[in-house]
C-alpha cells in the first residue's frame, strides 16, 4: 500500500468531515474503518432509525458496566460500526449546542474554541433549508432540514410550551436556543444525510482518498513520533503508514481504547495489562460524560398518533412509499418539535432538552404502548457525573470497560426531578386538553421525590451522547489529553479529532458539534485561518 499524507482511524461524524477537507486541500488520506457499507433501507430511511443501532452489522454493541446508582443496570452504548459511524445509526437530530457551551470550553483551557471561534465551522459545514440567517450556512455539504409537522401533536407540544411560560424559538441553532419550536434534522430529499453521504462520497471522487476496511490495533511510534497504524485486515496484521500525521476519529469509546493500547494513557492502568507506557496521560479515558433521559408517556384521547402505522401492514405501507418516492412517514425521523428550557430562573442558559414523539414507544423500537399515545424524551444537559473508559485487556479485539458513573452527583437527582415536574406542567396546558389521556409513565401515582427517584433509577436510559474521554486543555494540564490544536500531549504526529476532545458535553445531540470538530480539526492540521477554504 502506498503511503498517504494522513492516516485517519474511523469513518464517523468527524472522520468523514476531516477526510473530505484534507482531500479537498489536495492531501492524500487513508481512512481505516472496521464497519462496512451504509447502503440499505434501515440506514437510509429516516423512519427506520430504531433498527440500525440494534443490528450487530452496524453497531459495536457496547454496554456499560453495572451502574451503581441505576440499580446495577448495564446500559446500552451504541456506536456506529459502518461508513458514516454513528451518523449512520443515530436519530438524525441536529443541534449545534448552546454558544455558552463553547465559551466554557475556551474558559477551561481549550483556547480558540469559544463560540466565536467555532461558528465559522458550523456555517461552513451546513446547507440550511430554514430561511435566511447570518448565523446559518448556505452551501456546506451537510443538509439541515425540518419536518413538515403534519401531525397535530407536534404543534400542540410547541404551543403547550409557550402556554407553560417559555418562549417560542424559531431556530434553536440560531439566535436563541431557549424555547419551544421546530426540530432540525440531517435529512435531505427523504434520506438520512449522514457524513457518509455528505462528506465521504464526495471525498472518494477526489481520487485522493483510500478507504481500508480493517480493525485498528494500535498506533505505531518511532520513539515518540507516530508514523502509522497497525491493522488487522481479514486476519492479516499489516501496517498503514502516514507521511505527515496519524489522526484518531474512532469515537469517544474506541479512541481512548486505541490510545491506551498504544501506550498513551494512565501508566499504572497500562502496566496492569502488560502495556509499556509511552506517555503517562491520566486524562485518557477519563472525563466520560453522557446525557441520560426518561420518556414521559401519555395515552392519546384521539387516534392521531403513529400507532395507526405500528403494525406489519402499516410499516409495509410506509416502507413502500419511501422506496418509491422517498416521501411519507418514512422520510422523517418523527422528531419534529422540541424544547430547550431552564429548570429555574437562577440557571444561566437551558439545562433541559425535550424531544417530542407522536408515539409511546422505546427508542429502540421495542415495547410499544398498546394504543395511541405520545411522549417526550427529557433529561438534564450538564450532568456533573463523570465516568471512565478503561481496557479490559491488551487484546485489541476485546471491547473496553465503560463506566459512566451515571447519577453519582446529587445535583443530577434534583435536575431529573425538575424534568418530571416541569414536563407535567407542559402536558397539563390547554393545547393538550383534547389529546392527553392518563400518564402511562411514570404514572400519576408517582409524585414524591423518593417515588420519582425510584422511577429514574429503573427507567433512565442513555441518549447515546458519550464524549469527553480525551479532552482538550492546555499542555500543562495533567488531565488534558490533547492541546487546543488537537495534538496528543507528549507525543508527535498524532491528533484526536472526534467527540473525545469535548471538555464538557454540549447542550443537545452531539452529531453536529462532532462534525464541527472534524471541520475545525482539518484547519488546524492544514494550518489555515478559521473557516477559510
Listed residue (488, 492, 9, 2) closest to 230, CA to CA: 9
Q: Which DSSP category does 93 fall into?
A: B
The pLDDT, as a whole number, for residue 520 is: 98
Query: What are 353's strand-pairing partners?
Result: 340, 379
What b/e string do you get for 179-203 counting C-beta neighbours within 10 Å, with b at 16 or more? bbbbbbbbbbebbbbbbbbbbbbbb
**Phi, psi angles (nearest 5°) of residue 460:** -60, 140
Rounded Cα distance between 202 and 23, Å, is: 10
Instruction: Give the three-class secondary structure for 44.
Output: helix
Average the pLDDT over 216-226 and give the result. Answer: 98
pLDDT in tens, 305-341: 999 988 889 999 999 999 999 999 999 999 999 999 9
What spatial distance separates the first Cα and last Cα of the chain, rounded to whole Å?
Answer: 30
Rounded Cα distance between 224 and 22, Å, is: 24
Query: For residue 1, is pLDDT > 70?
Result: no
Listed residue (428, 448, 426, 295) closest to 363, CA to CA: 295
**Phi, psi angles (nearest 5°) of residue 172:** -70, -15
Q: Is the pTM of this model over 0.85?
A: yes
The pLDDT, as a whole number, for residue 126 is: 98
The pLDDT, as a whole number, for residue 500 is: 98
Query: For residue 442, is pLDDT > 80?
Result: yes
The two beta strands, 292-300 and 461-462, are antiparallel
List the Cα angle 10/15/19 in 5-degree steps.
120
Average the pLDDT over 58-71 and give the result. Answer: 97
Query: For residue 531, is pLDDT > 70?
Result: no
Rounded Cα distance between 216 and 282, Å, is: 22
Rounded Cα distance between 530 and 500, Å, is: 21
Polymer length of the chain: 533
Average the pLDDT over 465-490 and give the result. Answer: 97
Instruction: Give the three-class secondary structure for 64.
Output: coil
pLDDT in tens, 383-396: 999 999 999 999 99
The pLDDT, as a whole number, for residue 365 is: 61
The pLDDT, as a whole number, for residue 361 is: 85
The pLDDT, as a whole number, for residue 370 is: 76
pLDDT band at 457 (very low <50, low <70, confident <90, very high): very high
CA distances to 201, 250, 331, 489 from 43, rounded to whole Å, are 16, 20, 12, 37
Instruction: Give the three-class secondary structure for 159.
Output: helix
Average the pLDDT over 409-413 and give the result. Answer: 97
Q: Which residues contact 223 (CB under 8 A, 6 or more apart)?
A: none
Listed residue (363, 467, 390) closest to 65, CA to CA: 390
CB 140 within 8 A of CB 123: yes
Residue 461 burial (CB count, 10 A): 18
Q: Which residues contact 450 (CB under 8 A, 6 or more apart)?
A: none
Query: For residue 60, is pLDDT > 60?
Result: yes
Name the average pLDDT for the chain. 96
pLDDT band at 455 (very low <50, low <70, confident <90, very high): very high
The pLDDT, as a whole number, for residue 134 is: 96
The pLDDT, as a whole number, for residue 217 is: 98
Average the pLDDT over 23-29 and give the result. Answer: 98
Candidate CATH numbers 3.30.410.40, 3.30.365.10, 2.70.98.40, 1.10.510.10; the one for domain 148-182+292-380+408-459? 3.30.410.40
Average the pLDDT over 413-437 and give the result. Answer: 98
Active site residue 465: yes
Query: For residue 300, is pLDDT > 70?
Result: yes
- Grid cell at residue 55: 443490528
Domains of the chain by residue range: 148-182+292-380+408-459
The pLDDT, as a whole number, for residue 532 is: 54
CB 472 within 8 A of CB 484: yes
CB 486 within 8 A of CB 524: yes
The pLDDT, as a whole number, for residue 529 is: 73
pLDDT band at 533 (very low <50, low <70, confident <90, very high): low
Listed residue (39, 85, 366) closest to 191, CA to CA: 39
The pLDDT, as a whole number, for residue 59 is: 97
Query: For residue 363, is pLDDT > 80?
Result: no
Q: What percent of the chain has pLDDT over 70?
A: 98
The pLDDT, as a whole number, for residue 364 is: 62
Listed residue (431, 322, 378, 336) closest to 130, CA to CA: 336
Say how far residue 18 (Cα) sits from the centre of its chain: 17
Active-site option among 269, 291, 377, 465: 465
Amino acid at each position: 500500500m502506498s503511503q498517504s499524507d494522513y492516516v485517519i482511524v474511523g469513518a464517523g461524524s468527524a472522520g468523514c468531515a476531516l477526510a473530505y477537507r484534507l482531500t479537498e486541500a489536495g492531501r492524500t488520506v487513508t481512512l481505516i474503518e472496521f464497519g462496512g457499507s451504509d447502503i440499505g433501507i434501515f440506514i437510509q430511511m429516516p423512519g427506520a432509525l430504531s433498527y440500525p443501532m440494534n443490528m450487530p452489522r452496524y453497531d459495536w454493541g457496547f454496554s456499560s458496566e453495572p451502574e451503581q446508582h441505576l440499580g446495577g443496570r448495564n446500559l446500552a452504548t451504541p456506536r456506529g460500526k459502518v461508513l458514516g459511524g454513528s451518523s449512520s445509526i443515530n436519530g438524525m437530530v441536529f443541534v449545534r449546542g448552546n454558544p455558552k457551551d463553547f465559551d466554557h470550553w475556551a474558559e477551561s483551557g481549550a483556547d480558540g474554541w469559544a463560540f466565536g471561534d467555532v461558528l465559522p465551522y458550523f456555517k461552513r459545514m451546513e446547507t440550511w433549508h430554514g430561511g435566511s440567517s447570518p448565523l446559518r450556512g448556505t452551501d456546506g455539504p451537510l443538509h439541515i432540514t425540518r419536518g413538515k409537522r403534519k401531525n397535530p401533536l407536534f404543534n400542540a407540544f410547541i404551543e403547550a410550551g409557550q402556554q407553560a411560560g417559555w418562549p417560542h424559538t424559531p431556530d434553536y441553532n440560531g439566535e436563541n436556543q431557549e424555547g419551544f419550536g421546530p426540530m432540525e434534522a440531517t435529512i435531505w430529499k427523504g434520506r438520512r444525510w449522514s457524513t457518509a453521504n455528505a462528506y465521504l462520497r464526495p471525498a472518494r471522487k477526489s481520487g485522493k482518498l483510500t478507504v481500508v476496511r480493517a480493525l485498528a490495533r494500535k498506533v505505531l511510534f518511532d520513539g515518540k513520533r507516530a508514523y502509522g497504524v497497525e491493522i488487522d485486515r481479514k486476519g492479516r496484521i499489516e501496517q498503514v503508514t502516514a507521511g505527515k500525521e496519524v489522526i484518531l476519529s474512532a469515537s469517544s469509546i474506541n479512541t481512548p481504547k486505541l490510545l491506551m493500547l498504544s501506550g498513551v494513557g494512565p501508566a499504572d492502568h497500562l502496566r496492569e495489562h502488560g502495556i509499556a507506557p509511552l506517555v503517562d496521560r491520566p486524562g485518557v479515558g477519563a472525563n466520560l460524560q453522557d446525557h441520560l433521559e426518561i420518556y414521559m408517556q401519555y395515552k392519546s384521547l384521539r387516534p392521531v398518533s403513529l400507532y395507526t402505522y405500528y403494525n406489519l401492514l402499516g410499516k409495509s405501507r410506509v416502507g413502500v412509499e419511501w422506496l418509491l418516492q422517498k416521501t411519507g412517514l418514512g422520510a422523517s425521523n418523527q422528531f419534529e418539535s422540541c424544547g430547550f428550557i431552564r429548570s429555574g430562573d437562577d440557571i444561566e442558559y437551558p439545562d433541559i432538552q425535550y424531544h417530542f414523539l407522536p408515539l409511546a414507544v422505546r427508542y429502540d423500537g421495542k415495547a410499544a404502548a398498546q394504543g395511541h399515545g405520545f411522549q417526550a424524551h427529557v433529561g438534564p444537559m450538564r450532568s456533573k457525573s463523570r465516568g471512565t473508559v478503561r481496557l479490559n485487556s491488551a487484546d485489541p479485539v476485546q471491547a473496553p470497560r465503560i463506566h459512566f458513573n451515571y447519577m453519582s452527583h446529587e445535583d443530577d437527582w434534583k435536575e431529573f426531578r425538575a424534568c418530571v415536574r416541569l414536563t407535567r406542567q407542559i402536558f397539563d396546558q390547554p393545547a393538550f386538553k383534547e389529546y392527553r389521556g392518563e400518564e402511562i409513565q411514570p404514572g400519576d401515582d408517582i409524585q414524591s421525590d423518593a417515588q420519582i427517584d425510584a422511577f429514574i433509577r429503573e427507567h433512565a436510559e442513555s441518549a447515546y451522547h458519550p464524549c469527553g474521554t480525551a479532552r482538550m486543555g492546555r499542555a500543562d494540564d495533567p488531565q488534558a489529553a490533547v492541546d487546543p490544536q488537537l495534538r496528543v500531549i507528549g507525543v508527535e504526529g498524532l491528533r484526536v479529532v472526534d467527540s473525545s476532545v469535548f471538555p464538557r458535553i454540549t447542550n443537545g445531540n452531539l452529531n453536529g458539534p462532532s462534525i464541527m470538530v472534524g471541520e475545525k480539526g482539518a484547519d488546524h492540521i492544514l494550518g489555515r485561518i478559521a473557516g477559510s477554504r
